[in-house]
Amino acid sequence: MACIIKDRMTNRTAFVTGARRRIGRACALALSQAGARVILAARDRTKLDEVAAEIQASKGEAHVVEIDLGSADSIKTAFAAAKEFGRIDILVNNAGLTKDGLALRMKKEDWDTVIATNLTGAFLATQQVLQGMMKERWGRIINISSVVGESGNPGQANYVASKAGLIGLTKSLAQELSSRNITVNAVAPGFIETSMTEVLSEDLKNAMLGHIPLKRFGKPEDVASAVRFLASEEAGYITGHVLDVNGGLYM
């Protein structure tokens, strides 16, 4: 399977937002290993350069662009720069942020910032690639949602709304773009191993694991494998789908 995917993804260009660490980095590495040219995008260029060097050390092709998903102008500038490296065939909308708090006390600024980055930013990024994909009659758009976008979560009304919105956006775009052979899907990760989970107490970890049938936290590579599959030719008859990568946490 890996060899087939690599052959078929050669000469494709993938644009990955939030590519500097964790899930975004893993997605960029997986797509590069599958043969794609990768455009790495985030606000912190230093970290992006490290990921690019890692890809290039493995004989892959990677380029770096700075992007602020909360700024429409920044999004336009980043995609204009990226298109100098070739038409974008695969878009992974991964970048996101949290500003948690109970709804009663949540500041409008915190609501607006999270929605603007996680949802509006993904929509505006998608707009930047549609013309090229429609002309080519081929494209893959993959939105990174979250298990909480399906289940809800107290104290995260803004984040949950943004991730649930990504699922709605996925389904709507899938219907709009299917006639041009452009698939649009979402991946909804559950609890993934990050620097955030590493510092949790053993009691809290065990409590969280008690809700996960597979009895482990996911790895960024688990999410990246799902993204790589949805970006491949083998996933050409899948669109409008939400692929849960959560160990059975939410079914």
- Say how many C-beta atoms besides its own lie within 10 A of residue 39's C-beta: 31
Q: Is 159 annotated in the active site?
A: yes
Per domain, the residue ranges of the chain are 2-244
For 2-244, which CATH superfamily applies? NAD(P)-binding Rossmann-like Domain (3.40.50.720)
Please report, in tens digits, the pLDDT of each residue of the chain (251 residues total): 444 445 578 899 999 999 998 999 999 999 999 999 999 999 989 899 999 999 999 999 999 999 999 999 999 999 999 999 989 999 999 999 999 999 999 999 999 999 999 999 999 999 999 999 999 999 999 999 999 999 999 999 999 999 999 999 999 999 999 999 999 999 999 999 976 677 778 888 899 899 999 999 999 999 999 999 999 999 999 999 999 999 999 99
| pTM of the predicted structure, to 2 decimals | 0.94
pLDDT for 205 equals 86
| SS3 state of residue 66 | strand
pLDDT of residue 195: 67
Check 79, 111, 138, 159 and give the catalytic one: 159
Q: Strands 242-245, 182-189: parallel, antiparallel or unpaired by DSSP?
A: parallel
Q: How would you class 25 by CB atoms within 10 Å of its CB: exposed for 0-12, middle for 13-18, buried for 19 or more?
A: buried
Give the model's pLDDT for residue 194: 77
End-to-end CA separation in angstroms for the chain: 27
d(CA 169, CA 178): 14
Across-strand partners of 185? 142
